[in-house]
Structure 1
Amino acid sequence: MSLAIKEVANKKELKQFIKFPFGLYKDNPYYVTPLIEFEMSTLLKEKNPAFDHSEAKYWVAERDGKIVGRIAAIVLDHELKEKSLARFGWIDFIDDQEVSNLLLETAKSWVETKGATAIHGPMGFTDLDFEGALVEGYEELATQATIYNHPYYIDHYKSWNLEVAASWVELRGKAPSKNPEKVDRAVRIIEDRFKVKVKKFKNTKEILKYAPGVFDVLNESYSNLYGYYPLTPKQIDYYVEQYFGFIRKEFVCIIVNESDEVVGFALTLPSLSKAFQKAKGSLYPFGFIHVLKSFYFNDLADLFLIAVKPRYQKLGIHALIYDYLQKIYEKAGIKYMASGPMLEDNKNVLNTWNEFDIDVGKIKRSCFIKHF
């Protein structure tokens, strides 16, 4: 049986590229199907402003005309210039080392022509794309913003001599029915002492005014994290349009100072994992119904992004966020929480959860790297 690599050349082939894992994980209860429209927007040059300072190519591996794997290779201008480093992502394959080797070798060969001397992944164009291969927690439902992969992927990566470059952990646990005493004490004094407060909103439109400030905080607080590059104004506008259409205003916590500047935030939402599974890649004609139901009839919340400006991080701002979310979650009937990836060596962030009955590390994912 012949194995061949084929570059994605048009939108029809890109859609096939996107839908390949749908079949690979068809009977897997933990895999969350992404929305095809969102994936297309991310991967199309004319849609995603990341292409202002990056290049990408996509390939599928075919055996006798049937797709058996896929991969994206991405070159970010800054990363290439500073580190001679490129990325691979959107990688999925059957359990066949010949297939995974072909995919990775193809990506490697292309980024070498661009001047890269190493490649790492799975990574996206930005920190808000899917990143990090799952290495622990295969029997936990993925969030709509994280990668799910079969355990055999890791063996394939190691066989291709990829090594771990960075690892993230995620929390899973019960939403607190009340705040720890330490949090309660902090909340009582923080607002007065540091002139900060939780911003109140009447509607989603009001939140949009603060969206640029939210991403400014993200850029500043994430600047030293693995693989993070600041989002440009065009990218911020893009993500505001992408993500702020999927928010429920009371699940968003924004902390402002006395000048009404955003100094910290939490973007959370009722889990859409099961809704996306039922939608099977599309909001229409019926997928949006599952999403709406999940928005208002749900006991699981996803903590999508939490960030605080560095100069405010030691002032207890996290306590205000946790206090707000605890009250909102209790009122909304949220009983469980799931976080996004947090770097396992980022002790400042992980230690903030010590006061809660939360399992940190039940789910772990890693970025792998190979030098050549």
Structure 2
Amino acid sequence: MLEISEVTTPGELRAFVKFPFQLYRDNRYWVPPLIRDEIMTLDKNPAFEHCLKKYWLARRDGQIVGRIAGIINHAENKKFGGSTARFGWIDFIDDRQVSARLFQTVETWAREHATQHIHGPLGFSDFDKEGLLVEGFEEMGTFATIYNHAYYPEHFEACGYRKSADWLEYEIFSPGKIPPRFAEFSRKVQERYGLRQLEVKRASELRPYAREIFQLVNDAYSHLYGFVELTDKQIEFYTEQYFGYVNPDFVSTILNQQNEVVAFGLTMPSLSLALRKAQGRLLPFGFWHLYRALQKNNRADFYIIALRKEFRSKGVHIMILEKILTTCLKYGIPTAETNPELETNLQVQLIWKGFERRQHKRRRCYSKELTGLE
């Protein structure tokens, strides 16, 4: 018998977080999350100030066979003037009854809160994993993205969900040296606008700029699909959660003459293989695997790039790319992977023009109208 039950205890929440470890146990492309971080996100998230949430587990004969989260982000509805729910953290075995019951459960909950539309997979904010993988199932996952089995899209569509937005991901190949045009153009941009790279040796030296950096991201990404600006408490939360992993060599922070942050780019050595070895735990050896990955790697992940509006067409991104490429050459990293980019965001895709690249993954946000559904 299939049963759907709400997650109400710490033990059930831990089981919710650990279900994918069972589901993807034999999959060599899935990258485990850090269990501690997942529990923190789902249990102690400052987004709860403006979000409703509920989590459910599907069990058959006592065995967990699926999970789903329901989210209503009041800030999203206020910003876009709608009545929308989100779903996320969705995983299930290849059984149409299981996926259908999970979707029915979250849709019923959403209708009880008078929402007329639901979309996902999405998290509480853009800093959570989002977008169902629909192409690239035989590509290694990353720390910041969802990996799912190839049967998921068919289940979504069978339950009435349709494409709402797509993100593309690219594998970028290093040219092996700094192109002369990069150095020259970067120098001219710095001189013309009075800009400079912030030079730091330790991650702790970046923390005084953290609030400005996140506020810059809020401004730069505000027009993109589903993006909701981070609150002050969320900024504090993500600063604590992520800045400890940062290798400052891979960070480009551009300041103006008033020492204000006008552009920011973050890349990191890939943590994918290290996280597979750690299997979700920092102890006893997880810290060591992550440390090794940050020091020596043959692959990097581009996480984010953001510029003030007045600098978006001024070539300032070349300063960021020059810094990142210099660092990759220093560390002997020949290949990098971009974070998901909306397929309609041509401005960010033009950043990679001139690099050898391949579009190797696609992920999708699905949506469904709930009005009149029973």
TM-score over 0.5 for the pair: yes
Instruction: Give runs of aligned pairs for residues 152-171 of structure 1, distance below 5 A.
Output: 152-171=151-170
Q: For 1:46-65, list aligned pairs within 5 A.
A: 47-65=44-62
Residue 342 (1) aligns with residue 341 (2): yes
> SS of the counterpart of 1:314?
coil
Residue matched to 2:63 = 66
Q: Distance in 1 between matches of 2:157 and 2:271?
A: 32
- Out of 55, 75, 84, the position equivalent to 1:78 is 75
Check the 8 A contact 2:172/2:355 in 1, yes or no.
Answer: no
Determine the C-alpha separation between the residues in 2 that align with 1:181 and 1:109: 59
Look up the SS of the partner of 1:315 in the other structure: coil
Deviation at 1:178, TM superposition (A): 2.5
Is residue 289 from structure 1 mapped to residue 308 from structure 2 by the alignment? no
Shift of 1:69: 0.3
Q: When the two structures are aligned, how many residues end up with a matched partner? A: 368
Match of 1:88? 87
State the AA in 1 paired with 2:240: E
| Counterpart position of 2:182 | 183
Unaligned runs of 5+ in 1: none
- 1:175-210 CA distance string (max 9 Å, x none): 232244543442131001011111111322211111
Query: Where in structure 2 are the equivalents of 1:274-353 lying within 5 Å?
Result: 274-353=273-352
SS of residue in 2 equivalent to 1:178: coil
Assess if the C-alpha contact under 8 Å between 1:195 and 1:258 holds in 2: yes
> What amino acid is the match of 2:195?
V
Matches within 5 A, 1:209-224: 209-224=208-223
TM-score of the superposed pair, with normalisation by structure 1: 0.97
CA distance in 1, matches of 2:278, 2:288: 9
Partner of 2:369: 371
Unaligned regions of 5+ residues in structure 2, if any? none
Q: Is the 8 A contact 1:50 1:125 kept in 2?
A: yes
Note the alpha carbon deviations across 1:274-307, whole angstroms, 9 max, x for none.
Answer: 1111111110111111111111121111111111
Partners in 2 of 1:343 and 1:271 — Cα distance?
22
Check if 1:117 corresponds to 2:116.
Answer: yes
The alignment status of 1:264 with 2:263, answered yes or no, reads yes
Q: Deviations over 1:36-62 (max 9, x none)?
A: 100000000xx2100010010000111
Supply the distance in 1 between the matched residues of 2:77 and 2:62 (Cα, whole angstroms). 34
* Cα deviation digits, residues 5-41 of structure 1 (max 9, x gap): 0100111000000110111111111100001100000
Distance 1:22 1:371 in 2: 32
Q: CA RMSD in A?
A: 1.0
DSSP-derived class of the 1:255 partner: strand
Identical positions, percent: 44
The separation in 1 between residues aligned to 2:322 and 2:351, in whole angstroms, is 13
Distance in 1 between the 2:57 and 2:347 partners?
Answer: 40
Tell me, what secondary structure is at the counterpart of 1:193? helix
User: Partner amino acid for 1:136?
Assistant: E
**Correspondence 1:196-211 to 2 at 5 A:** 196-211=195-210
